[in-house]
Structures are given as structure tokens and as C-alpha cells.
């Protein structure tokens, strides 16, 4: 595991992550958005081991890897990154976990399973997808790996689903230098919809800072080593945040990493963000549509026609005077093509009803039920 392979995975994930963030932000204007590029990239990289031909090329390109990189190289690079991320640091907890749930009636290729176990340390669970207990087991895994921050990732399993590939990331850390709680007070936060009240933490400290006419940015380190850092980027006054995001290229991250510390007066609101989405639409826009529809080549998984039918993604983050906590779960759902679906009719909204004598085709009664009584 070389630094070079580690850097390849990290840079690819950052490139992919910025594109994914922009697309999700574009679809959620005026709303809070929080994605975990690392979580999504790891889950999709595992899945990519079952992709072949142009489906593999589309996934590889979307995830930020060059076309001449082999699956073996990508797996080695991701394995090195996973090992580096889980290196413990004083005052910081960072855990990454991977798992696969596979429909027990399907025969998945040993080569695929061996690859994801070796490179991603994934646990393999064979289960009956028709049993409601499988949903409970998957959600219990998400709950455990995120320490209760993301207790559920899927609600049900459709009859065509044959595999879930999951990643969970959990972070908790104390600031290298905590905010003084006696200096926290309430004042106005100027949201796009108008002023709202927020509790602002205040601190004067030596911090890495960069600023220009477009933005100000500061780096807040966690733990004794300061290895994990929260970057806060504030657009210039009068700038629409959604417009700013669409033009954001991440260059500020490099600038902050290289910046010297300087005296900064920081006023930052406590904040908590929770986000829940299916990333299929965004991933399709980013070039992965072939893998997400019938005709995908996932023949490396099993001898069956399959495609990625969902990419569920949930995130949580909270930051206060003491530090921060963040969690993410990604569930890539793989489904069979052309399966006879069992129709489900759930009459949970207004409906029309009719009473008919079919012998004479006489309409005896017809009505609209707006509220059942």
C-alpha cells in the first residue's frame, strides 16, 4: 500500500465528491445538503467489481478514476485509503465499515466476493430477501456502525432486489481547542429566506485562514494531531449560496491546507444537518446512467441480468462548542431485470368504488371515497 495508491483514491474521491455535491445542491436549492463522497465512492467501488465492459468504464469515469487504471489498481488504492483513514488519532474517532447482503437463492461469483472481502474488508451476509427480518438486520447494521445516528437506511426490499452493498462512516472528535461556552449567544443568521435565530459560538485564535473578494475560509482542527479538520467557507456578502456552490471548484481546500496560521476572530453558529436521498438521478447526470438501468453489464456479480436500482444515502452532522459528530450510510441496491413483479395496491388515499352486477353489466352503485368512515 503505497502513498501513491492512497493519493489516487483520495484525489478521485474528492473530484467525484465535488461533482456529486454540486448536482445534489442543484436539485435541492434553498435546502441543507450533506453528502459523504467517501461513503458513496467506497460503496460504488465495491459494486464496480461486478461491472464489465462499458458499464465498468462509465462507473470508473464517474468515480474519478482514469480509464487506464485496472480494477486491481483501484482496489489496492481504495484498500490503502481505508487503512489510512482508520489510523487512530488522539481525540478523534473515525470508523469505516463495509458489508454486503446477498439474496440466498442467488449464486454470486466467488471472484467478486473474494475481491470485496480482501480490498474492502466487507462482511458477507446471505439472507432471505423475502423475510422482513432482513430489512431489520440491514438497518441494525447501519444503526450500530453509526452509533445510532442513522438507525435506518432501507424501508423495504422489492421482489427484484438481490444484493445490497453498504458502507458506513462515523466520525466523532473534540476540537483541538474548544469554544468557551460562556461566549456563546443568540443572534440572527441571514438565511436565503430571511433572518433566523441561531446560537453563535465565538473564539479568537490562531487558525489557518484565507480570504479574498469572493469568500473567507477558515480551518478548525480536531484532536491532538489536527489531522481531521473542518473547513468553513463563507461566500462574500450578497452572494447566493446556490450560485456559489455551482462555481465551487475546491481550490480553497488546497489553499487552506497550505495556509499559515493567523489571528482570527471567529463567530460560528452551532449547526446540525441531516440529509436523506437516493443518488440515482445525480449519478446518472454525472455519467453513470448505463449502470443504473436495464442493459447494464454486471456480469461479474453473477450469471444474470442486473442493474443498480437504488443508491440510498443518509447523512448526519452536528457541531457545537466541544467538537463534532458526523455519520453516513450508503446502500447500493442491485436488482434483477425482467422479473415478474407482484403488483401491490395500497389504498391509502381517495379512490373510486363501484358495485356491478357482472351478469347483466348493471352499474348498481358508484362512488368516490375521500375519507373512509
Strands 123-127 vs 92-103: parallel, antiparallel or unpaired? parallel
Residues whose CB is less than 8 angstroms from the CB of residue 121 and which lie 6 or more positions away in sequence, other chains included: 82, 98
Select the more confidently predicted residue: 86 or 43: 43
Query: Domain 181-271 falls in which CATH fold?
Result: Alpha-1-antitrypsin; domain 1 (2.30.39)
The pLDDT assigned to 43 comes to: 98
CATH hierarchy code of domain 3-173+274-336: 3.30.497.10
Out of 141-155, 182-196, 313-327, pick the least confident: 182-196
Percent of the chain with pLDDT over 70: 88
Instruction: Indicate the domain borders of the chain.
Output: 3-173+274-336, 181-271
The pLDDT assigned to 340 comes to: 47
Q: Which of 66, 288, 315, 284 is nearest to 167 (CA)?
A: 315
With H, G, I as helix, E, B as strand and everything else as coil, classify residue 180: coil
Strands 123-127 vs 215-221: parallel, antiparallel or unpaired? unpaired
Beta strands in the chain, from DSSP E residues, in sequence order? 92-103, 123-127, 161-174, 185-191, 194-211, 215-221, 229-235, 261-269, 271-278, 306-319, 323-336, 351-357, 362-369
- Give the model's confidence band at 202: pLDDT under 50 very low, under 70 low, under 90 confident, else very high: very high
Q: What tens digit of pLDDT does each residue of 108-136 get?
A: 999 999 999 999 999 999 999 999 999 99
Residues whose CB is less than 8 angstroms from the CB of residue 263 and which lie 6 or more positions away in sequence, other chains included: 204, 205, 206
Look up cell 488522539; give the residue. 90
pLDDT score of 199 more than 70:
yes
Query: For residue 229, which phi and psi values (nearest 5 degrees)?
Result: -135, 140
pLDDT score of 344 more than 60:
no
The pLDDT assigned to 168 comes to: 98
Asked if 79 and 1 count as a contact pair (C-beta separation under 8 A), the reply is yes
pLDDT score of 237 more than 70:
yes
pLDDT score of 326 more than 50:
yes
Average pLDDT, the chain: 90
Domains 3-173+274-336 and 181-271 equal at CATH topology level: no
Select the more confidently predicted residue: 364 or 295: 295
- Give the model's confidence band at 57: pLDDT under 50 very low, under 70 low, under 90 confident, else very high: very high
Q: Which of 7, 152, 154 is nearest to 77 (CA)?
A: 7
Amino acid at each position: 500500500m503505497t502513498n501513491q495508491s492512497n493519493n489516487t483514491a483520495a484525489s478521485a474521491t474528492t473530484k467525484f465528491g465535488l461533482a456529486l455535491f454540486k448536482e445534489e445542491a442543484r436539485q435541492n436549492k434553498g435546502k441543507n445538503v450533506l453528502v459523504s463522497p467517501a461513503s458513496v465512492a467506497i460503496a460504488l467501488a465495491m459494486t464496480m467489481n461486478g461491472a464489465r465492459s462499458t458499464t465498468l468504464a462509465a462507473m470508473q469515469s464517474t468515480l474519478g478514476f482514469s480509464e487506464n487504471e485496472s480494477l486491481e489498481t483501484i482496489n489496492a488504492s481504495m484498500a490503502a485509503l481505508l487503512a489510512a483513514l482508520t489510523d487512530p488519532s488522539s481525540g478523534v474517532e473515525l470508523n469505516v465499515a463495509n458489508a454486503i447482503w446477498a439474496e440466498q437463492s442467488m449464486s454470486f461469483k466467488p471472484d467478486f466476493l473474494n475481491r470485496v472481502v480482501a480490498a474492502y474488508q466487507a462482511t458477507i451476509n446471505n439472507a432471505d430477501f423475502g423475510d422482513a427480518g432482513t430489512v431489520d438486520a440491514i438497518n441494525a447494521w447501519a444503526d450500530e456502525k453509526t452509533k445510532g445516528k442513522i438507525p435506518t437506511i432501507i424501508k423495504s426490499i422489492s421482489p427484484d432486489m438481490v444484493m445490497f452493498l453498504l458502507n458506513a462512516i462515523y466520525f466523532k472528535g473534540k476540537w483541538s481547542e474548544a469554544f468557551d461556552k460562556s461566549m456563546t449567544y443568540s443572534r440572527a443568521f441571514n438565511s436565503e429566506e430571511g433572518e433566523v435565530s441561531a446560537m453563535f459560538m465565538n473564539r479568537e485564535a490562531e487558525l489557518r485562514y484565507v480570504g479574498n473578494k469572493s469568500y473567507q475560509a477558515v480551518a478548525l482542527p480536531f484532536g491532538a494531531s489536527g489531522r481531521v479538520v473542518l473547513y468553513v467557507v463563507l461566500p462574500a456578502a450578497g452572494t447566493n449560496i446556490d450560485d456559489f456552490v455551482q462555481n465551487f471548484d475546491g481550490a480553497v481546500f488546497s489553499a487552506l491546507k497550505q495556509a499559515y496560521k493567523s489571528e482570527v476572530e471567529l463567530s460560528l453558529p452551532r449547526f446540525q444537518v441531516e440529509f436523506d436521498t437516493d443518488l440515482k438521478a445525480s449519478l446518472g447526470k454525472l455519467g453513470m446512467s448505463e449502470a443504473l438501468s436495464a442493459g447494464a453489464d454486471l456480469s461479474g456479480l453473477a450469471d444474470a441480468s442486473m442493474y443498480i436500482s437504488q443508491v440510498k444515502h443518509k447523512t448526519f452532522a452536528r457541531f457545537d462548542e466541544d467538537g463534532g459528530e458526523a455519520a453516513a450510510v450508503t446502500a447500493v441496491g442491485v436488482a434483477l431485470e425482467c422479473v415478474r413483479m407482484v403488483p401491490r395496491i395500497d389504498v391509502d388515499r381517495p379512490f373510486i368504488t363501484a358495485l356491478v352486477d357482472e351478469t347483466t353489466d348493471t352499474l348498481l352503485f358508484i362512488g368516490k371515497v375521500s375519507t373512509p368512515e
